[in-house]
Amino acid sequence: GKPLLSIRDFKVEYRTGSGATVQAVRGVDLDLYPGESLALVGESGCGKTTFGLGLLRLLPRLGHASGKVIFNRGDGTEIDVLGLDGRDLRQFRWRDAAMVFQGAMNAFNPVLKIRAHMHDTMRAHTKATRQEIEDRAGDLLRLVRLEPERVMDCYPHELSGGMRQRVLIAMSLLLEPEVLILDEPTTALDILTQRSIVDVLHEVRERLGFSMIFISHDLSLAAELADRVATMYAGRLVETGGVRDLFYRPRHPYTLGLIKAVPPIVGDLPDLESIPGGPPSLAALPPGCTFNPRCKFATDECREAEPDLVPVTDQDGSAHDVACIHWKDVHLDREARNQDLGTAS
């Protein structure tokens, strides 16, 4: 079928204080299919959040998105997202696609109760009656395992971080968007609370059937929630594929490094390897493959040209897309790691 979101040569540029421009997202091609859950993974500073903000046209004033983003509405309408403005853009943002940001506190108005947030959001976009809004908000709050009677009369600061995050998820679903973008949905929460958010996301997605892009530095979260994973580095996708394929047969040294930094769910704790160094400054990218200064597979050839994201096929016939000229040499030694995907299926 048709993708819900079709993204081509998507770029985001920022103008810096000195008037120079920096490319934070450097040409991303990606399709999101109806009902699919896609994880966008990478360290902070790789352009993941900018990508999400750019898709929903929420960039700060000095940011500029270009390329092509087509949203195919369930009713058959085709929307050119980067061409939207005014009313159409506001409509797109809540009804077609909504975003839940990290740091749930900033998304709330501290002097308004949760009830007012729910009513304001619905009234800004629909002609729903007071009772309809109460009912819809109540249903969604129960779906994220909160008691509406309790939560609706609270101010944001009266809720725990995990509860606020769940309220935000409920709020983002008020207008029944077809795509939900979540930015680090569990970061800054303790392990148990993270667990409950993951369970809640599983449940609401099963019930409501929306597509999801979630942005995370946490690969174990990706393993639990995603059907497909895209690894981002220095503003580009360097590997994309099915979640199992990427976890068991990563072919980009960066994905491999991210996997090796995740503690195993079963078995003894191995020595976790972190990737040396950090992501490059977007204002001064290394020549050739941008990962080369950190890559143990790098050769002189890697410093000559930036590899394209191309489909590769393994001996067992599995295929995914990788941007690395030495992908054949990259293997995850699964035995030595004794790591499993845990609850992912």
Please report, as ranges, the residues that interact with ligand SF4 according to CB under 6 A. Answer: 252-253, 289, 291-292, 295, 297-298, 302, 307, 324-326
Strands 179-183, 211-216: pairing kind: parallel
137 vs 325, which CB is nearer to ligand SF4?
325
211 vs 292, which CB is nearer to ligand SF4?
292
CB of 324 to ligand SF4, least distance (A): 3
33 vs 297, which CB is nearer to ligand SF4?
297
Q: If DSSP codes are grouped into helix, strand and coil, which group holds residue 164? A: helix
100 vs 295, which CB is nearer to ligand SF4?
295
CB of 170 to ligand SF4, least distance (A): 41
CB of 67 to ligand SF4, least distance (A): 24
Token representation of residue 344? 């992912």
Distance of CA 336 to the CA centre of its chain: 30
CB neighbourhood size of 216 (10 A): 23
Query: What distance in Å separates the CA atoms of residue 214 and residue 211, rounded to the nearest whole number?
Result: 10
Query: What distance in Å separates the CA atoms of residue 77 and residue 177, rounded to the nearest whole number?
Result: 15
CB of 292 to ligand SF4, least distance (A): 4
Report yes or no: 22 and 13 within 8 Å, Cβ to Cβ. yes
Query: What distance in Å separates the CA atoms of residue 227 and residue 104, rounded to the nearest whole number?
Result: 25
Query: What distance in Å separates the CA atoms of residue 292 and residue 342, rounded to the nearest whole number?
Result: 32
CB of 257 to ligand SF4, least distance (A): 10
CB of 21 to ligand SF4, least distance (A): 25
Query: What distance in Å separates the CA atoms of residue 119 and residue 66, rounded to the nearest whole number?
Result: 34
Report yes or no: 47 and 280 within 8 Å, Cβ to Cβ. no
CB of 40 to ligand SF4, least distance (A): 18
Report yes or no: 255 and 241 within 8 Å, Cβ to Cβ. no
Q: Which of 11, 40, 31, 17 is nearest to 246 (CA)?
A: 40
CB of 55 to ligand SF4, least distance (A): 26
Q: Which residues neighbour 206 within 8 Å (Cβ) at sequence distance 6 or greater?
A: none
Token representation of residue 30? 């990606």
225 vs 289, which CB is nearer to ligand SF4?
289
Q: Which residues neighbour 228 within 8 Å (Cβ) at sequence distance 6 or greater?
A: 36, 37, 38, 39, 240, 241, 242, 243
106 vs 274, which CB is nearer to ligand SF4?
274
138 vs 279, which CB is nearer to ligand SF4?
279
85 vs 300, which CB is nearer to ligand SF4?
300
